[in-house]
A = this chain, B = another copy of it.
Amino acid sequence: MDNKLVKEITSMDEDFTKWYTDIVKKADLIDYSAVKGCMIFRPYGFAIWENIKNILDAEFKKLGHENVCMPLLIPEGLLQKEKDHVEGFAPEVAWVTVGGGEKLQERLCIRPTSEVLFCEHYKNIIHSYRDLPKLYNQWCNIVRWEKTTRPFLRNLEFLWQEGHTMHETEEDARAETLRMLNVYNDFYRDKLAIPAVVGRKTEKEKFAGAIETYTVEPMMHNGFALQGGTSHYFGDGFAKAFGITFTDRENKLRYPHQTSWGVSTRMIGAIIMTHGDNSGLVLPPAIAPIQVVIIPIAFHKEGVLEKANELKAELEKTFRVKLDDSENSPGWKFSEYEMKGVPLRIEIGPRDIAENKCVAVRRDNGEKTVLSLDGLTESVLKLLDEIKANMYEKAKKNLAEKTSVARSFDEFLDIAANKGGFIKAMWCGDAECEAKIKEVTGGVKSRCIPFEEEHLSDKCVCCGKEAKHMVVWGRQY
């Protein structure tokens, strides 16, 4: 019955890109669709996103945010209302030009992001300081016409949430921008077990139309960065472009201050490339569709399946549990759930039952533990916590090992060419130096000016002029 043998995947040292695409396919996360760059979320892949969404959505609501749903389509004239914004997005949108059999008078683009839709609506519903703040969010699909696509990391269509908020004062809006950045960073650390560098984007790397863009940048196994989540402060630029005003507490007409912030299905790419190994996915327990898989051993023997079902009934009061009682061999099942990254496997056979115990095998490090069947829920809880903690420590070690300091341009180029990873280096604040670094290295860009800046030297690593900031640099997905 081993007809669905788990095939070996490419090792990540041999070909990291192929290792990645092997996993997304063989762990049944996605299938490719007829349109290049658009993918199908299979049940296992979508369940990861549902778990992410449920946790974040509850967190947003706890902080007072409300969900809305904006239209998919934006008229060309509306997209053009904020100048920087349209310049940033117009080149990568999809245009609907025919509807209901007729050529449209005005083209409609499929939303590449929804600032202009929120602004148009806010204009209708914000009149007084009593209407503020407005703390809105939506979960939706987005289309950006990417030339090079890769599942989860860069898709023509992807899923995300986008928060869009309006505030009475700059101070309130800036506080919201950082509050939501912290929500993302906490989620990466506490739920996904992913450490990240957090900070502010340079002028060049800011979101189109934003005054400040903040970012959470985790590092992947291979030393590449992934822009994991961003939070933007817009000031009142959009409000002015859209004529959104409110009467303040002194009865004066003013423009509100705006933020937006988002994370996307790219998070799943971050999970794969931070935690995965050569046996497949390794999922953090908080978002794993199956947290515990029970594999009965010699299950045709009397009592085994009954006991396995008993364990399942007990454990599923607390965890997401699967009992695999299919005819596939235990060996096949072990490989299958390793590929799928299930955090904990529990094996139970006749001998275990006789001794009132079972064997628990951790996905993160392969460690086997013999557990008493008494107090099993507590033991599993403890193991899952340990798994999460260990996953985080491993990722943190990778981040530390692959982060270097460059004090000269030669050193910078040497690290970029031979070691990779993140490079901490001083910067004068000039976009020309950023451009030069990107060009000379073939793609190393400023990730961010981290909140925790260090004073490495007085001079820009590129031009030697006076340094303004320490920047973390790196290649990105």
Would you give the shortest CB distance from A455 to chain B, in whole angstroms?
Answer: 43
B159 pairs with A69, CB closer than 8 A: yes
Would you give the shortest CB distance from A451 to chain B, in whole angstroms?
Answer: 32
- Chain B hits for A97, CB < 8 A: 95-98
- Chain B hits for A34, CB < 8 A: 71, 74-75, 78, 117, 120
A43 pairs with B68, CB closer than 8 A: yes
Q: Please tell me which one of the listed residues B66, B94, B143 contacts residue A98 in the complex, with CB atoms under 8 A apart.
A: B94
A46 pairs with B69, CB closer than 8 A: yes
- Chain B hits for A99, CB < 8 A: 93-95, 145, 156
- For residues 256 through 309 of chain A, which have their beta carbon under 8 Å from a beta carbon of chain B? none
- Chain B hits for A72, CB < 8 A: 38, 72, 110, 141, 143, 157
CA distance in complex: A189, B67 (Å):
27
- Say how many copies of this protein the assembly contains: 2
Residue of B nearest to A107 (CB): B98
- For residues 125 through 140 of chain A, which have their beta carbon under 8 Å from a beta carbon of chain B? 125, 128, 136, 140
Known interface pairs A94-B96, A96-B94; A70-B108 also in contact (CB < 8 Å)? no
Does A465 touch B at the CB level, under 8 Å?
no
Does A92 touch B at the CB level, under 8 Å?
yes
Does A73 touch B at the CB level, under 8 Å?
yes
Does A100 touch B at the CB level, under 8 Å?
yes
A147 pairs with B100, CB closer than 8 A: yes
Does A124 touch B at the CB level, under 8 Å?
yes
Would you give the shortest CB distance from A1 to chain B, in whole angstroms?
Answer: 9
Does A418 touch B at the CB level, under 8 Å?
no
- Chain B hits for A147, CB < 8 A: 100
CA distance in complex: A346, B119 (Å):
36
A35 pairs with B108, CB closer than 8 A: yes
- Chain B hits for A75, CB < 8 A: 34-35
Does A375 touch B at the CB level, under 8 Å?
no
Most chain B beta carbons < 10 A, residue from A95, A107, A120: A95
A73 pairs with B121, CB closer than 8 A: no
Would you give the shortest CB distance from A95 to chain B, in whole angstroms?
Answer: 4
Residue of B nearest to A75 (CB): B34
Does A50 touch B at the CB level, under 8 Å?
yes
Would you give the shortest CB distance from A112 to chain B, in whole angstroms?
Answer: 11
CA distance in complex: A145, B34 (Å):
23
Q: Please tell me which one of the listed residues B47, B68, B98, B141 contacts residue A42 in the complex, with CB atoms under 8 A apart.
A: B68
- Chain B hits for A128, CB < 8 A: 3
A68 pairs with B94, CB closer than 8 A: no
Q: Please tell me which one of the listed residues B33, B100, B110, B121 contacts residue A120 in the complex, with CB atoms under 8 A apart.
A: B33
B94 pairs with A33, CB closer than 8 A: no
Q: 1/0 contact trace for A85-127 toward B, CB 8 Å? A: 0000001111111111100000110100000010011001100
A31 pairs with B124, CB closer than 8 A: yes
CA distance in complex: A425, B100 (Å):
35
- Chain B hits for A38, CB < 8 A: 71-73
CA distance in complex: A374, B141 (Å):
48
CA distance in complex: A72, B158 (Å):
10
Does A55 touch B at the CB level, under 8 Å?
no
Does A39 touch B at the CB level, under 8 Å?
yes
Residue of B nearest to A125 (CB): B31
Q: Please tell me which one of the listed residues B50, B101, B117 contacts residue A67 in the complex, with CB atoms under 8 A apart.
A: B50
Enumerate chain A interface residues (CB-CB to B < 8 A): 3, 31, 33-35, 38-43, 46-47, 49-50, 66-75, 78, 91-101, 107-108, 110, 117, 120-121, 124-125, 128, 136, 140-141, 143, 145-147, 156-157, 159
Given A33-B121, A41-B68, 4 extra CB contacts under 8 A: A35-B75, A91-B100, A94-B108, A140-B141
For the complex of A and B, the 8 pairs showing the least CB-CB separation, nearest first, are: A100-B145, A43-B66, A38-B71, A41-B69, A95-B98, A99-B145, A94-B99, A97-B97
